[in-house]
Amino acid sequence: MDAKELMEAVAEDKSKIVESLCSMIRHVAVGPENGGPGEAKRGKFLVNLARSLGLEDIEVLESSDPSVLNGKRPNIIVRVKGATSKNMWVVTHMDTVPEGDLSAWKYPPYEPKIVKGRIYGRGSEDNGQELMASLFGLATLVKKGVTPECNIGLVFVSDEEHGNVHGIDFLIPKSVFKKGDLVVVPDHGEPDGDAISVVEKGIAWLNVEVIGKQTHGSTPDEGINAFEVASRYMIAAVDSLRKKFPIKNPLFEPPVSTFVPTKCEANGLNINTVPGKQVFAFDFRVLPEYSLDDVLSELQQLAKKFEKSTGVRINISFLQRADAAPRTATDAEIVKRLSKAIEGVRGIKPHPIGVGGGTCAAPFRRAGIDAVVWSTIPGTAHDANEYAKIEDLVADTKVYALLFAGKNVKNG
């Protein structure tokens, strides 16, 4: 079989692929942290679907969680043996964020609606499209009797939307994955599918508490205005960090580390009181060339200067910290294999990028496993009226089919 015939075989199953994604959306998989039932019913649906597609080697690894009705969060592994000993994985997630404001939806979020080539529904893009594309990409090979070049493993995990404790982080210590494996994590993408993410910035969300002395608005000299000092410190910190960490990395957009003040808490209800306490937050996205410890050290040194000159006390703490994981080389094997498959389907040569947000490739990279992030998506994840485009669903299924087949199909 050549590549053209394999892609035609995928296209023949278009209706079933679309129908299966719609059916999956109807099985609500919101995590218990957001008031949902978890992934059990969706997991059972996917196991049955995989079996119906001729995929027989299926394993379910369950993480104990008393906050769901059955006490377990499923992680499903579907395997097909390849012609070599190399392992290739596609890791997608079953869970979704909640629907949010129902009045903002044009259609019921768990009753998928197909309109003008789009499948509307919660989880259609994030992460249903790529889950279903990888599943049918592999099933097409089995159906047509094509042996994958590598051992292929599809992993449908729980708990991606709330920290990975019962999903990826649960699986990695169990030695499901090992160094030398190739991993695709399609939880980020571009509308035309031309970018493969190989690295991420470090993330630091920092809480800053400035303690001064409250007093009456008519006698400001008798107090220490925490709001004023916090404002001056905020600006000084941003200016200092931008000068201290100026490197540009063209893989990223923007190509620099970003230091942004964001949340600011209320400091009182009335106008005629000088506030004695002000709390605000920073969102930092730091290039992997720099250490988050060095960034924090710069903040703390500046805080000490402000404490000495103003009499305030400044407390800085992490709300979230994710140090940048080692990057996957732009010429890594998984990058080359995936690029070839994308070019075979879409006729474009994808380019490597870095992303400012965290992805689930990071745990694999920290474990010494080459992982990339790729998909073709419109960018509606977590939105009301989230949708997946049918043309992207089918095209990405073709990409996975070619990726899995590798050298075992001819270029045609």
* Active-site residue set: 95, 160
Q: Give the residue from 60, 52, 62, 59 showing the smallest Cα distance to 13.
A: 52
- Write the CA distances from 253 to 59, 197, 350, 354, 399, integer angstroms: 39, 12, 16, 8, 26
Q: Cα–Cα distance between 169 and 166 in angstroms, integer?
A: 7
**3-state class (DSSP) for residue 149:** coil
For the chain, report the end-to-end CA distance as a whole number of angstroms: 9
Q: Angle at the Cα of 72 (from 71 to 73), degrees rounded to 5?
A: 140
- Take residue 223 and report the two structure tokens written for it: 């107090």
Q: How many CB atoms lie within 10 A of CB 188?
A: 22
Burial class (CB in 10 A: 0-12, 13-18, 19+), 170: buried
Which helix (H) or strand (E) element contains residue 99? none
Distances (CA, A) of 249 to 55, 255, 407: 43, 5, 34
